[in-house]
Chains A and B, each alone.
Chain A
Amino acid sequence: MGNYLLRRLIIALPSLLGISLILFVLLALAPGDPFGELATNPNIPPEVREALRVKFGMDDPVLIRYFHWLLAMLRGDWGFSFASRVNVDTLILQRIPTTLYVVGTSQLVALAVALPVGVYAAMRPYSIFDQIANTFAFIGFSLPTFFTGLLLILVFSVNLGWLPFVYRADIAATGWHWYWEYIKQAIMPITVLGLFQGASYTRYVRSAVLDVIRLDYVTTARSKGLDESKVIVKHVVRNALIPVVTLVALQMPSVFGGAIVTEQIFRVPGIGSLLISAILANDTPVIMAVTFVFSCLVVFFNLLADIIYGWLDPRISYR
Chain B
Amino acid sequence: MNEQELRNLISQVKAGSMSRRSFVQRMVALGLTAPMAGMMLSQSGVAMAATTIPYKPTKAGGGGALKLLYWQAPTLLNPHFAVGTKDQEGSRVFYEPLAGWDPDGNLVPVLAAEVPSKENDGLKEDGRSVVWKLKQGVKWHDGKPFTVDDVVFNWEYAKNPDTAAVTIGSYKDIKVEKIDDHSVRVLFAQPTPFWADAFVSAVGMIIPKHLFADYAGAKSRDAPNNLKPVGTGPYLFEDFKPGDMVRGKRNPNYHLPNRPYFDTLEIKGGGDAVSAARAVLQTGEYDYAWNMQVEDEILHKLEASGQGKVGIVPTGNIEYIALNFTDPAVEVDGERASTKTHHPLFSDPAVREAINILIDRASVEKFIYGRTGVATANFVNNPERFRSKNTKFEFNIEKANQILESAGWKKGSDGIREKGGKQLKFTYQTSINAPRQKNQAIIKQACQKAGIAVELKSIVASVFFSSDTANPDTYSHFYCDMQMYTTTMLQPDPQRFMNQFLSSEIATKANKWQGRNISRWHSKEYDDLYNQAEQELDAVKRAAMYIKLNDIVVGDHYILPEVYRPRVTALKNGVTAHLSGWDNDLWQLANWYREV
**Interface residue range, chain A:** 35 or more
- Confirm or deny: A273 has a beta carbon within 8 angstroms of a beta carbon on chain B: yes
A264 surroundings in chain B (CB, below 8 A): 270-272
CB < 8 Å: which of B161, B268, B468 contacts A168? B268
- Confirm or deny: A310 has a beta carbon within 8 angstroms of a beta carbon on chain B: no
A94 surroundings in chain B (CB, below 8 A): 241-242, 244
- Confirm or deny: B76 has a beta carbon within 8 angstroms of a beta carbon on chain A: yes
- Confirm or deny: A187 has a beta carbon within 8 angstroms of a beta carbon on chain B: no
Contacting pair B166 A48 (CB below 8 A) = yes
- Nearest-neighbor residue (CB-CB) of A42 within chain B: B496
**Total A-B residue pairs with C-beta atoms closer than 8 Å?**
146
Stretch touching chain B among A29-37, A190-198, A200-208, A311-319: A29-37
CB < 8 Å: which of A37, A86, A169 contacts B84? A37
CB < 8 Å: which of B244, B247, B283, B463 contacts A165? B283
- Confirm or deny: B532 has a beta carbon within 8 angstroms of a beta carbon on chain A: no
0/1 per residue, A240-273, Cβ < 8 Å to B? Answer: 0000000000000000000000001111010001
Interface residues of A in 77-93 (CB under 8 A from B): 80-81, 83-86, 91
- Confirm or deny: A40 has a beta carbon within 8 angstroms of a beta carbon on chain B: yes
Contacting pair A281 B75 (CB below 8 A) = yes
Contacting pair B245 A170 (CB below 8 A) = yes
Contacting pair B169 A172 (CB below 8 A) = no
CB < 8 Å: which of A32, A46, A95 contacts B466? A32
Contacting pair B491 A44 (CB below 8 A) = no
- Cα of A180 to Cα of B500 in the assembled complex, Å: 55
Contacting pair A48 B164 (CB below 8 A) = yes
Contacting pair B279 A166 (CB below 8 A) = yes
CB < 8 Å: which of B84, B275, B500 contacts A265? B275
- Cα of A20 to Cα of B203 in the assembled complex, Å: 39
Contacting pair B221 A80 (CB below 8 A) = yes
CB < 8 Å: which of A40, A51, A269 contacts B241? A269
A32 surroundings in chain B (CB, below 8 A): 462-463, 466, 468
- Cα of A265 to Cα of B276 in the assembled complex, Å: 10
- Cα of A91 to Cα of B76 in the assembled complex, Å: 12
- Cα of A81 to Cα of B497 in the assembled complex, Å: 30
CB < 8 Å: which of B165, B243, B516 contacts A277? B243
- Confirm or deny: B313 has a beta carbon within 8 angstroms of a beta carbon on chain A: no
A170 surroundings in chain B (CB, below 8 A): 239, 241, 245, 247, 266
0/1 per residue, B261-274, Cβ < 8 Å to A? Answer: 00010101111100
Given known pairs A31-B468, A85-B226, A166-B271, the reply for A161 and B283 (CB within 8 Å) is yes
- Confirm or deny: A108 has a beta carbon within 8 angstroms of a beta carbon on chain B: no
Given known pairs A32-B462, A32-B468, A40-B465, the reply for A84 and B161 (CB within 8 Å) is no
Chain A positions near chain B (C-beta within 8 angstroms) = 31-33, 35-48, 51-52, 55, 80-81, 83-86, 91, 94-95, 153, 157-158, 161, 164-166, 168-170, 172, 264-267, 269, 273-274, 277, 280-281
Q: What 10 additional pairs, Cβ within 8 angstroms, besides A32-B468, A172-B247, A267-B270?
A: A32-B463, A35-B83, A41-B490, A46-B514, A80-B221, A158-B278, A166-B279, A169-B244, A170-B245, A277-B72
Chain B positions near chain A (C-beta within 8 angstroms) = 65, 69, 72-73, 75-76, 78, 81, 83-84, 161-162, 164-166, 168-170, 172, 203, 221, 226-227, 239, 241-245, 247, 264, 266, 268-272, 275, 278-279, 282-283, 285-286, 462-463, 465-468, 470-471, 476, 488, 490-491, 496-497, 499-500, 514, 516
What are 8 sample pairs from A and B whose C-beta atoms fall under 8 A apart? A48-B168, A51-B161, A84-B76, A158-B278, A166-B286, A264-B270, A269-B243, A269-B244
